[in-house]
Structure 1
Amino acid sequence: MNEYFSPHVLIITLTFFLAGIVKGVAGMGLPTVAMGVLGAIMSPVSAASLLVIPSFVTNFWQLFTGPSFLALMQRLWLMMLGIVIGTLAGSFLLTSANPEYASVGLGSALVLYAVYSLRAKPFSVPARFERLLSPVIGLATGVINGGTGVFTIPAVPYLQALGLSKDNLIQALGLSFTVSTIALAAGLARGGAFHLENIALSTLAIIPALLGMWVGTAIRERISAATFRRWFLIFLAIVGLELVVRPLFF
């Protein structure tokens, strides 16, 4: 019983509570925060195995909050197929690479996402290019997801550029994140990265993640979303830089 109150478990609990708050405020960011924080105290492959279940539960709920699931699946199925193929191919990097290299890859993905989101101007994708770009974006997202456990780049800016309504965008993000999580779980299982202890901890992490989402939803009504987003991205950039430079000093 005492192992469930160890510092290791408490850090995991607080991490998913924090990640849930971010998702409650911003509508996304739970796996990104979880990978960034947990990647600083354990190998990226262990961190990825812990986030699978809470990420699936929270994103599956988000996927079915809107009315356009079938329409979005019909529109984005090539992107989703690309995510699955890319993740299964890229997961070899996460499960087989030197942990130091995996940490540098994770840190680089976090920094790239943070800097892009802070600096880049919104853009739009013409409808005539969508069918061509969707599988390419899906493959790129999948390879990064499989190699680092982060599935926001380039999927999030691409979906934001499609001109979807607010509700459809949230549902499309839920679809992309759910497919990415399932594909990551399959890649980790194939690489033998799932262990009984991690499955149990991942299941327990659902509770603080959902509590954090509830708190985050309440916070969203009281603070500036733009200010929160800016500091959240700065935090991710700092965590990512720490992961990148750590092998140089330790």
Structure 2
Amino acid sequence: MDLFSSIISPEFLLLAMVVGVVSGFVKGVVGFAMPTIFISGLSSFLSPELALAGLILPTVVTNGIQALRQGARAAWTSLTHYKLFLSVGAVVLVLSAQLVTVIPSNILYLAIGLPVAVFTAVQLLGWNPTLARRDSRIEAAVGAFAGFVAGLSGIWGPPTVLYLTAVNTPKKEQMRVQGVVFGLGALMLLAAHLQSGVLRMETLPFSAILIIPAIFGIWLGFKVQDRIDQATFRKVTSWVLLLAGLNLIRRGLMG
């Protein structure tokens, strides 16, 4: 405990581990939303910088587990299957990151949150549009949009999940693809914050200890996810996506 006493009290460390279990559980069920839950939960009682440091290593590890759950070959197949989406997104991410000081973050949160919330709300009301699975133009366009908002805000989840849901991706494949996409993003986040100093000698042990509850949570979530069918998975995904969209709208309105 002395290892953490300079940055966090025992009570707050216990609370942080509870947040880790909850975020891991949700990720295990639907394959995303861990950073959102982590940052919202931890920043309610920790500084934003420490909250960000805390989520980095658990996010890297759990995305790796999710991506490799059916083996390395399946993960590689998903990587090559969605290479257009990933490559376009990566290029646009690098370019849009240069605009970070130009576009106000609250405008960006609203621009992402509003369409995500509206689209998922109408889905939950019974309208379930689908896209042509291998339409390269749509895949490239959505990849560009996801990369654009990721470069500006670090948020790549909602556009990616929205696309995978719209093309009616099978449950196991969607979970795996999300693990691959978000895992690559998490590695970029890790590299960026080793450079920025957010993840350093003082905060690294805190992030490392949160790997344990996050893994326990995702294990529990996988148990639930394995028992639900495609229709239920899609509905649960839509609910979590709706909450993510509403949270982005809240952040945008609060400035």
Note whether the superposition's TM-score is higher than 0.5.
Answer: yes
Alignment partner of 1:62 is 2:66: yes
Unpaired runs of 5+ residues, structure 1, are none
User: In structure 2, how many angstroms separate the alpha carbons of the residues matched to 1:159 and 1:25?
Assistant: 16
How far 1:102 sits from its partner (Å)? 4.6
Asked if the contact 1:89/1:146 (under 8 Å) is kept, the reply is: yes
| Residues 141-150 or 56-65, more deviating | 141-150
User: In structure 1, how many angstroms separate the alpha carbons of the residues matched to 2:102 and 2:48?
Assistant: 10
Query: Which residue matches 2:178?
Result: 173
- Given candidates 54, 61, 71, the residue that maps to 1:50 is 54
Asked if the contact 2:194/2:200 (under 8 Å) is kept, the reply is: no
Asked if the contact 1:22/1:30 (under 8 Å) is kept, the reply is: yes
Cα distance change of structure 1 residues 137 and 199 upon mapping to structure 2, 3 Å threshold: farther
Amino acid at match of 1:53: L
Cα distance change of structure 1 residues 75 and 235 upon mapping to structure 2, 3 Å threshold: closer
Q: How many residues align?
A: 242
What does the per-residue CA deviation read over 1:157-192, in whole Å, with 9 as the maximum and x for residues that have no partner?
A: 222344543332222221111122122333444555
How far 1:56 sits from its partner (Å)? 1.4
SS of 2:157's partner is coil
Alignment partner of 1:183 is 2:191: no
Amino acid at match of 1:181: A
Query: Which residue matches 1:73?
Result: 79
TM-score when scaled to structure 1? 0.73
What does the per-residue CA deviation read over 1:78-129, in whole Å, with 9 as the maximum and x for residues that have no partner?
A: 32223333444455677x799xx657755774565444333343421352x3
Q: Identity of counterpart residues, as a percentage? A: 21
- Given candidates 88, 103, 116, the residue that maps to 1:82 is 88
Amino acid at match of 2:251: L
Query: Which residue matches 1:124?
Result: 131
Asked if the contact 1:22/1:28 (under 8 Å) is kept, the reply is: yes
Structural mapping, 1:202-221, within 5 Å: 202-219=207-224, 221=227
Amino acid at match of 1:79: F
User: In structure 1, how many angstroms separate the alpha carbons of the residues matched to 2:33 and 2:182?
Assistant: 10
| Residues 170-179 or 104-113, more deviating | 104-113
Asked if the contact 1:19/1:30 (under 8 Å) is kept, the reply is: yes
User: In structure 2, how many angstroms separate the alpha carbons of the residues matched to 1:18 and 1:97?
Assistant: 35
Cα distance change of structure 1 residues 166 and 229 upon mapping to structure 2, 3 Å threshold: closer
How far 1:23 sits from its partner (Å)? 1.4
Asked if the contact 1:27/1:170 (under 8 Å) is kept, the reply is: yes
Query: Which residue matches 1:244?
Result: 252
Asked if the contact 2:149/2:156 (under 8 Å) is kept, the reply is: yes
Asked if the contact 1:83/1:179 (under 8 Å) is kept, the reply is: no
After superposition, the CA RMSD in angstroms is: 3.7
